[in-house]
Structure 1
Amino acid sequence: MIDENQIIGEIPSNKKIYKRTFDIAWPSALESISMSLIGAIDMMMVGNLGAKAIASVGISTQPKFIIMAPIMALNIAVTVLVSRRKGEGNRKAANEYLLTAWFISGVLSILLSVLGIIFARDLLTFAGARFDYIDTAMDYFRIIMVGNIFYCMALTISSAQRGVGLTKISLRINLAANLVNLVMNAMLINGLLFFPRLEIKGAAIATAIGNFVAFVIALKSISNSDEYLAFDYGGKIIDFKAMKDIFNIASTSIVEQVFLRIGFFMYAKSVAGLGTVAFAAHQVTMNVMHISFSIGDGLSVATSSLVGQSLGSKRGDMAIIHGIVSQRIGFTIAITVSILITVFKVPILHLFTNDLEVIKTAFIPMGILAICILFQIPQVITIGSLRGAGDVKFVAVLMFISVTTLRPFLAYLLSYPMGLGLTGAWLSVLFDQFTRSYISTNRFKKAEWIKIKI
């Protein structure tokens, strides 16, 4: 699996390696899939309200993630640092990172969410929201910003739990929250039982309630001193050495996240300009893509944890092996998902909307998506390996090249001057995924990342 000159110590059997990878990966993958499925079910429920409703929810996605970019960067740092300290056997330091990061997360999430509420119209207008649905989109966006405060703080705890390999805890947090979200969606969107029919506002309120439930359960998961991560084990809530270490990684990760969000934002803005029906069709296809991404993301999180722990215990050879094993699993899954989308794309589209114009418009993008997935899932896992090793500068540069520059540029060029419309926008996604896959794979194979000190 690796070169003999890379071997440092005894290598476990393939069976043991795959078993350990599966033990950590399946809860993480299931968690990511469940979150994407809930998002998809949200879209299905909202989809029955028409193309404008789909567009209202969809246009809010990138502004939300731009606001969350600093939190996402913080959480990358938490996973990397906690996993490395776990590998070193330093439980106290792992908890100091958690407590410090959680405090920072709380302050940032409140500040950023308030700014999101105040500047909702400006953000959505810049994202490309059209006059026929911007008021509805504003209502939705402002409500989810309230729930975002709790979601961000829960996410930081989950990121630390993933770092030590406790992916089942993170899974329980999100499954419970998603179940609440799903039930409240049905009640508030459609006005079931004694609840009012709130339509899109109902979807937003349901999401906010689910986020609060996630926060409560996440908090409970670190309240027991017998657990590896616990509030009363790490000492000070704000540890300045821990804060410095977090900043060293998060400062680069925030650049990566900003590059990502700017790229996705500009891409979505280009697509929004194609019209309400085209944007609705795009959002439906993106929801299917999010489900496939979630599979890769789940494996990526597990790989980051395994790589970080391996490097913490001075086993660079095992870090490489865990990365390779996860990539093999991911590629097998990618082939399966690609075939399923190719064969069942029309029934899948009917799950999201009964608008025949939207379904017709989404048909070709779904075909392109089936090809994208063959590159998407493996590259997400490979980048997870690099992040787990602390190779965040390389990842940031890669995101700038592929997501911030190539994707939006090609989306505009192919959609407008070349007249390919939504098909052109999705061809730009395919090129972006291929570029990231090719460059990240080459970086992984060189194995320079196992020498990074954090």
Structure 2
Amino acid sequence: MLTSYDKNYLRIGLPAALEGVLMIFLSNADIIMVGSLGTAAIAAVSIFTQPRMILLTVARSVAAAVTILVAERFGRDRHDTYGDILKKTMVLVAFALGSAHILFFLCLDEILLWMGAQYDYLPDALLYGTWTLPAVFITSLTVLMQAVMFGRGESMTVLSINMQGNVVNVVLNAVLIFGLGPFPQLGVLGAALGTIGGAVWSFVMSMRILLIWGIFRQGSYRLTSAYLREFFGVFGGIFSEQGFERIGMVLYTRMVAELGTVAYAVHSIAMNFCDFYYNFCNGMGKASTVLAGHNRAIEKSEEWRRYLWTGMRWSLIFSTGAFLLTYVLRSEIFGIYAHDPALFPLGSLIIAYVAVVSFPEAYQMVCAGILRASGKTTQVAAYSFVSITILRPIITYILVYEFQMGLEGAWLSLAIDQSTRALCAASLLRSVYRKGYSAPLYPSL
């Protein structure tokens, strides 16, 4: 029987989790449709994932900080301060990310080659990346606006907006990749244009909701020292964590890309499918962050504890379901993406690794979500740095090159990294729980 805590957790968590799944479907729609164009086209679209994720790391770190700040104010009934946080943060994002996107545009060919792109698909990768960069910037602004919605617990609103954006993206993909009706067959370029269309739609709808709520009538765009102290006090640890993760992923992906086009295509398919549940878990982590933020006050410590156990329980339930479905249907899942029979033996094996990873990735993300909202962003960043930035690349190199395990070694390394972070998060959260919850204090605006 569901308790009131279960219902509230699922009210926020399920839409956030499904929103994460729909967002990764944006990427998977490209991969599935482009897959019909051949293995080289899959690799061309996939190799841009890492540059895109580097840029989104900044946006998502900012959004996570905004979510925590808004959630704290929600718990203290300071509803008139959301707009001030959003406006000031938008100034920082526009300057920092605007400059970064221009740099990536100018140096995209060098960046893709450094990521491990092969010359046989580099022209298509450049075409896709050049046209997709504007969509990444638009998405960054959208993620920031939706952070305010998450902080208020309005995850269903975010789900609705991004569902619409995904529908627009998929329709445009089908029309422009394959040249349906009067439209020309644009192939990889069509996938990029579809991504832009979906990103613009989500941006406009997010802006519309915040205008209706009157968020933009609150506060000012002028940066203040009080705002900067509070924002960077939260943002620093989160950005360090996600930055370390992205560095580790770049090193990891480059080693995998050097295994060749076929191995990288199989890896890209498995990673894109893995991202479905990863983003589902990220939604549960967001719910844990929001609810921990809502209950940061000392007098709400019992609610904080109850939501901790609620998140743990649901992570186990969802992970068990994800494991069973993925493992049993691993061949069918891989067949959705690829049509080359030569890829199936390796692909089915790697999808089995995806199934196993479901457990540690869900557990560590829920724990990390609670820890961030409880003032432990620096500690989460520290163990993330050790695990993903140092240990994963080293273990990957040993398994792939020293033990000659190829792509299987790369995925075994990923599983070890996820398990290590899960153990670290559990140990840290246990320490916080045993010492007795106390609300962390940041300088107030």
TM value normalised by structure 2? 0.95
Change (3 A) 1:186 1:312: farther
The answer to whether the Cα contact below 8 Å between 2:323 and 2:358 also exists between their aligned partners in 1 is yes
Change (3 A) 1:70 1:37: closer
Matches within 5 A, 1:401-416: 401-416=386-401
1:130-181 deviation line (CA, Å, top 9, x unaligned): 1111121111111111111211101001111101101112112211111100
Is 2:278 the partner of 1:290? no
TM-fit CA distance, 1:68: 2.5
Is 2:408 the partner of 1:393? no
CA distance in 1, matches of 2:360, 2:56: 26
TM-fit CA distance, 1:93: 2.5
Is 2:353 the partner of 1:353? no
CA distance in 2, matches of 1:57, 1:29: 25
Matches within 5 A, 1:178-197: 178-197=166-185
Q: Name which of 275, 293, 306 aligns with 2:291.
A: 306
Secondary structure of the 1:311 match is coil
**What is the Cα-based RMSD across aligned positions, in Å?**
1.6
Q: Which amino acid aligns with 2:386?
A: I
TM-fit CA distance, 1:102: 2.1
| Corresponding residue for residue 174 of structure 1 | 162
Q: Which amino acid aligns with 1:236?
A: S
1:404-439 deviation line (CA, Å, top 9, x unaligned): 111111111101111000000000011011101111
Matches within 5 A, 1:270-281: 270-281=255-266
Is 2:13 the partner of 1:29? no
Matches within 5 A, 1:54-93: 54-93=42-81
| Corresponding residue for residue 312 of structure 2 | 327
Is 2:248 the partner of 1:263? yes
Aligned length: 438
**Of 181-190 and 367-376, the range deviating more from structure 2:** 367-376
Q: Which amino acid aligns with 2:295?
A: S
Secondary structure of the 1:223 match is helix
Structure 1 unaligned runs (5+)? 1-12
CA distance in 1, matches of 2:105, 2:259: 27
The answer to whether the Cα contact below 8 Å between 1:114 and 1:145 also exists between their aligned partners in 2 is no
| Corresponding residue for residue 6 of structure 1 | none
Secondary structure of the 1:186 match is helix
**Of 146-155 and 241-250, the range deviating more from structure 2:** 241-250
CA distance in 2, matches of 1:23, 1:239: 35
Q: Which amino acid aligns with 1:171?
A: L
The answer to whether the Cα contact below 8 Å between 1:87 and 1:313 also exists between their aligned partners in 2 is no
The answer to whether the Cα contact below 8 Å between 2:298 and 2:438 also exists between their aligned partners in 1 is no
Change (3 A) 1:446 1:92: same
The answer to whether the Cα contact below 8 Å between 2:255 and 2:397 also exists between their aligned partners in 1 is yes
Q: Which runs of 4+ in 1 moved over 6 A?
A: none
Structure 2 unaligned runs (5+)? none
Q: Which amino acid aligns with 2:187?
A: E
The answer to whether the Cα contact below 8 Å between 1:259 and 1:400 also exists between their aligned partners in 2 is yes
The answer to whether the Cα contact below 8 Å between 2:13 and 2:286 also exists between their aligned partners in 1 is yes
| Corresponding residue for residue 43 of structure 1 | 31
CA distance in 2, matches of 1:138, 1:320: 49
The answer to whether the Cα contact below 8 Å between 1:376 and 1:433 also exists between their aligned partners in 2 is yes
Q: Which amino acid aligns with 2:374?
A: A
TM-fit CA distance, 1:193: 1.1
TM-fit CA distance, 1:109: 2.8
| Corresponding residue for residue 139 of structure 2 | 151
1:36-95 deviation line (CA, Å, top 9, x unaligned): 233222211111111111111111111111123222221121011111111111112232
| Corresponding residue for residue 235 of structure 1 | 219
| Corresponding residue for residue 10 of structure 1 | none
